[in-house]
């Protein structure tokens, strides 16, 4: 194992040339960005410290990853899916050995393949899918939660990465590929399929619970579920691909909240990040994006710039918002109360698509919003993260796993927890920014390529 020394003691940074205006906006294919040595040091440190969450907050015997960094937290299957490429990133960088990454991945796949699939209340799942939350030790259903199509899909994405990355001839790497094939192969996507005459026709249901059966509402419109339709199509879900596209594309909302920033909107940035952690959307178009002269990567870039402009305007007058302190996505908040005439909240899908399309804003800022958007707009996200560290370290925004989940400058409040769903995208997207690592291995998979073709996507 080679050693990698990271300068944890960060130095002060001077920001003087980031007074962008909307007139300077350029699409990503015209954007020229060169990473400075100071920025590289910061990103390496942020990535390493965030990576440690996926080494320390796990059960090494079954690979399950905690939902949050509390003692009693269950596992979330989505963050567990994120862990698979994150362990590979650690191996590539020498933070752990390749052997350890292989063992953790094998243990995880072995657990999921052999975990109980039945209608029993405490099984891990059924019909090839898994419950949203599982007990860290026993892997059984936790909190009477739903069988989740989207979280299972994110878990499958990690597995799809694994069977392409671990391509060696060792017994464990062969087993990783074989177990992935078996797990992916038994996922019955038709179980979640809505008929053409349903309320949300031809869509993939959000989940199942014994109280109501398969949920009536499906994943429709622009959401984080783009990847879900791709892998479902690639895994031979029977609904016509045209039906898929009708379900989500016809509900797209194209808006231009600021000049040159027209895009399909969704206020919280996680919807512009989760699919793009795995799908390389640079140049990825369908008929809709072709007609708009855009692609799915550019769409995310414009969503990021929209939030950046919103912060500069700061229409609600919150403390701290400016061009170097912004970012909104799903996160914890300080709690439900009022103070000085302002309302605050707990966990919420914070976000905005401009000042006239605000999902929720209570002055809480979420570092992963910028951290998982680095590939889209490095010129504004990296200085923002560096400024957050320098300006707010005095109130405790930075700890053993990098940035805490969220903070609120108006209240001088910092969330005491880390959330796996927010930590994972930071590690993965920094690596994709560096070298497209996760994209490279995910995109070559036959399921992904077949799904994109069936749904009419192509690279321009």
Task: Tell me how far CA of residue 358 lies from CA of 31, 249, 352, 362, in angstroms.
Answer: 28, 22, 4, 11
Bridge partners (DSSP) of residue 284 are 459
Residue 85: closest CA among 51, 38, 120: 51
Domain membership of residue 62 (yes or no) is: no
Give the Cα separation of 325 and 356 in Å (integer): 20
Residue span of the structural domain in which 298 resides: 253-434
Helix, coil or strand: residue 267: coil
Say which residues have a Cβ less than 8 Å from residue 333's Cβ, sequence separation at least 6. Answer: 344, 345, 346, 347, 348, 350, 362, 364, 406, 408, 415
Q: Determine the Cα–Cα distance for residues 429 and 300; give it in Å rounded to an integer.
A: 13
Query: How confident is the prediction along the chain (460 residues), in pLDDT tens digits per residue?
Result: 433 333 433 434 434 334 444 447 999 999 999 999 999 999 999 999 999 999 999 999 999 999 999 999 999 999 999 999 999 999 999 999 999 999 999 999 999 999 999 999 999 999 999 999 999 999 999 999 999 999 999 999 999 999 999 999 999 999 999 999 999 999 999 999 998 888 888 899 999 999 999 999 999 999 999 999 999 999 988 776 777 777 888 899 999 999 999 999 999 999 999 999 999 999 999 999 999 999 999 999 999 999 999 999 999 999 999 999 999 999 999 999 999 999 999 999 999 999 999 999 999 999 999 999 999 999 999 999 999 999 999 999 999 999 999 999 999 999 999 999 999 999 999 999 999 999 999 999 999 999 999 999 999 8
The sign one gets for the Cα dihedral 302, 20, 14, 410 is negative
Would 172 be classed as within a structural domain? no
- What is the biggest distance separating any 2 CA atoms in the chain, rounded to whole angstroms? 64
Take residue 41 and report the two structure tokens written for it.
């040091």
Residue 312 placed within a domain? yes
Domain CATH for 312: 1.50.10.140
Specify the number of domains making up the chain. Answer: 1
Inside any domain, residue 378: yes
Separation between Cα atoms, residue 67 and residue 77, nearest integer Å = 8
Q: Is 69 within a domain? A: no
The verdict on residue 226 lying in a domain is no
Supply the pLDDT for residue 9: 39
CB 79 within 8 Å of CB 421: yes
Q: What is the CA radius of gyration of the chain?
A: 21
Q: DSSP label at 256? A: -
Tokens coding 195: 């008929």
Tell me the two tokens of residue 156.
Answer: 């499958």
Count of other CB atoms within 10 angstroms of residue 140: 17
Nearest to 153 by CA among 117, 100, 207: 207
On whether residue 97 sits in a domain, the answer given is no
Query: CB of 251 within 8 A of CB of 221?
Result: yes
- Residue at token pair 């709690």: 335
434-457 burial: b if 16+ Cβ within 10 Å, else e: beebbbebbbebebbebbbebbbb
| 317 in any annotated domain | yes
Instruction: Provide the whole-model pTM.
Output: 0.95
Give the C-alpha separation, 119 to 114, whole Å: 15
């Amino acid at each position: 194992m080679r050693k990698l020394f990271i300068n944890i003691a960060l130095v002060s940074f001077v920001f003087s040339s980031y007074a962008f205006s909307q007139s300077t906006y350029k699409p990503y294919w015209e954007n020229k960005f060169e990473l400075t040595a100071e920025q590289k040091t910061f990103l390496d440190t942020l990535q390493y410290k965030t990576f440690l969450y996926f080494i320390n907050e796990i059960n090494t015997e079954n690979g399950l990853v905690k939902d949050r960094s509390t003692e009693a937290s269950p596992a979330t299957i989505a963050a567990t899916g994120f862990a698979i490429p994150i362990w590979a990133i650690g191996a590539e960088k020498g933070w752990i050995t390749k052997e350890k990454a292989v063992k953790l991945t094998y243990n995880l796949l072995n657990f999921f393949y052999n975990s109980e699939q039945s209608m029993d209340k405490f099984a891990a799942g059924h019909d090839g899918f898994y419950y949203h939350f599982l007990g860290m030790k026993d892997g059984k259903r936790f909190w009477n939660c739903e069988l989740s199509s989207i979280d299972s899909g994110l878990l499958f994405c990690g597995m799809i990465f694994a069977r392409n990355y671990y391509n060696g001839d060792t017994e464990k790497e062969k087993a990783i590929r074989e177990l992935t094939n078996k797990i992916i192969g038994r996922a019955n996507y038709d179980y979640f399929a809505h008929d053409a005459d349903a309320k949300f026709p031809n869509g993939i249901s959000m989940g199942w619970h014994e109280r109501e059966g398969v949920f009536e509402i499906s994943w429709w419109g622009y959401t984080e579920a783009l990847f879900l339709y791709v892998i479902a199509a690639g895994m031979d879900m029977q609904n016509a691909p045209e039906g898929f596209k009708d379900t989500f594309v016809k509900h797209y909302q194209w808006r231009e909240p600021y000049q040159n920033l027209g895009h399909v909107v969704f206020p919280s940035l996680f919807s512009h990040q989760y699919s793009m952690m795995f799908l390389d959307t640079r140049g990825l178009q369908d008929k809709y994006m072709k007609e708009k002269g855009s692609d799915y990567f550019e769409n995310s870039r414009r969503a990021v710039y929209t939030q950046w402009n919103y912060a500069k305007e700061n229409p609600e007058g919150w403390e701290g918002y400016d061009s170097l302190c912004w970012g909104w996505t799903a996160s914890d908040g300080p709690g439900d109360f009022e103070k000085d005439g302002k309302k605050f909240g707990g966990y919420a899908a914070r976000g905005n698509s401009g000042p006239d399309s605000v999902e929720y804003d209570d002055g809480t800022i979420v570092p992963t919003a910028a951290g998982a958007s680095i590939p889209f707009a490095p010129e504004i996200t990296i200085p923002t993260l560096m400024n957050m560290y320098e300006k707010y370290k005095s109130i405790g925004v930075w700890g053993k796993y990098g940035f805490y989940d969220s903070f609120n400058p108006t209240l001088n409040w910092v969330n005491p927890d880390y959330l796996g769903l927010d930590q994972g995208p930071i590690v993965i997207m920094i690596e994709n920014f560096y070298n497209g690592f996760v994209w490279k291995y995910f995109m070559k998979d036959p399921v992904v390529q077949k799904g994109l073709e069936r749904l009419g996507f192509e690279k321009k």
